[in-house]
């Protein structure tokens, strides 16, 4: 009898996936890129990653404590936000930058809007944009071994030649999550474990490449397209930020529309703005369009529209 009380009406949860489980998967998937960044850029980047994560967790804990909410620290979403934010920062930033960035991302973008599931844009991206607007000089200073060098994308814009293989492996200047190979490995892990569905990353990257060919001014030259693909944050954005379930559409048709739109914006911001890489802005603008997409592409209600005799 006591067990019967636990029965609930349908629909029932039919999967063992939980928020903390999925978030843990994302952290695992980000590990190759993180370790590569720390190996390539040195000890200071480890500090940046740790400060960013610690600040995100501390902010979430403090907010829950002050407002008497249940402690949401162990759903790991704060860890993911802090880690993704750190991967988008230059490796030599002073440590107050990851601290303030995570604080802004968690407190203002996530907690003030109602916590996980209620944030209207991706917190990590909003944190990065906050830092870009506030501390422009520190946030665009990419230095390796004491020598400040242009990022590959800036070099391409200046008309220089770059090595795509080095960029793909990550032996280039850039933000901490610079290794495209490691990020793709992580993305593959997420796809295999079913944490993400392929619609958004695939449609976003394809549309990005197509629009790079149309808008880039070099036609569909494979080397040019490859260098655009492996430069900047478009892969990190496609696998780890654009498909954040909170800020992406509900239906899979919506996913494709959204992916194409974000990929288009990435290409536009890359070629027609004064930034070298506008992936963050593209995804945030995409996030804002999500309610509109969901309004026009409506999913089928559960249990309706099945074929007769089908399963």
Partner 1 sequence: MNGNMERIYNGIVKENPTFVMMLGMCPTLAVTTSVINGIGMGLSTTAVLVVSNLVISLLRKVIPDEVRLPAFIVIVASFVTVTELLMKAYLLDLYESLGVFIPLIVVNCIILGRAEAYASKNPPLLSIFDGLGMGIGFTLSLTAISFFRELLGAGTLCGVRVMPDFYQPIDMIVRAPGAFLILGLIALVMNALSIRTRANDMVNGEPCGMCPKDCAAKGGEECEKA
> What is the contact surface with partner 1 in residues (CB under 8 A)?
94, 96, 100, 108, 130, 133-136
- Give least dist CB 95 to partner 1, A: 12
- Give least dist CB 131 to partner 1, A: 9
Q: Which is nearer to partner 1, 35 or 130 (CB)?
A: 130
- Give least dist CB 227 to partner 1, A: 32
- Give least dist CB 133 to partner 1, A: 5
Q: Which is nearer to partner 1, 108 or 150 (CB)?
A: 108
- Give least dist CB 139 to partner 1, A: 11
Q: Which is nearer to partner 1, 131 or 154 (CB)?
A: 131
Q: Which is nearer to partner 1, 121 or 190 (CB)?
A: 121
> Which residue, among 289, 222, 212, 218, has the nearest Cα to 249 in the 3D structure?
289
Q: Which is nearer to partner 1, 35 or 135 (CB)?
A: 135
Q: Which is nearer to partner 1, 115 or 201 (CB)?
A: 115
- Give least dist CB 97 to partner 1, A: 9
């Amino acid at each position: 009898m006591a067990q019967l009380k636990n029965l609930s009406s349908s629909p029932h949860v039919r999967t063992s996936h939980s928020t903390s489980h999925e978030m843990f998967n994302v952290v695992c998937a980000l590990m190759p890129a993180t370790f590569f960044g720390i190996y390539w850029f040195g000890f200071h980047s480890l500090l940046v990653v740790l400060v960013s994560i610690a600040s995100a967790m501390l902010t979430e804990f403090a907010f829950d404590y002050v407002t008497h909410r249940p402690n949401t620290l162990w759903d790991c979403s704060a860890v993911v936000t802090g880690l993704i934010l750190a991967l988008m920062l230059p490796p030599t930033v002073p440590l107050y930058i990851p601290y303030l960035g995570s604080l802004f991302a968690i407190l203002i973008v996530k907690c003030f809007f109602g916590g996980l599931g209620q944030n209207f844009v991706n917190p990590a991206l909003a944190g990065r944009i906050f830092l870009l607007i506030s501390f422009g000089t520190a946030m665009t200073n990419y230095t390796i071994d004491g020598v400040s060098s242009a990022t590959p994308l800036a070099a391409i814009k200046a008309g220089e030649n770059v090595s795509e293989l080095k960029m793909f492996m990550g032996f280039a200047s850039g933000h901490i999550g610079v290794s495209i190979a490691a990020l793709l490995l992580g993305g593959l892990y997420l796809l295999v474990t079913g944490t993400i569905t392929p619609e958004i990353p695939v449609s976003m990257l394809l549309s990005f490449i197509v629009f790079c060919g149309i808008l880039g001014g070099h036609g569909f030259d494979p080397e040019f397209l490859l260098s655009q693909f492996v430069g900047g944050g478009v892969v990190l954005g496609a696998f780890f930020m654009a498909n954040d379930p909170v800020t992406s559409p509900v239906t899979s048709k919506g996913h494709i529309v959204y992916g194409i739109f974000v990929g288009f914006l990435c290409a536009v911001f890359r070629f027609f703005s004064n930034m070298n890489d506008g992936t963050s802005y593209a995804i945030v603008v995409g996030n804002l369009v999500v309610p509109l997409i969901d309004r026009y592409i409506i999913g089928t209600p559960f249990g309706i529209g099945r074929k007769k005799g089908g399963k």
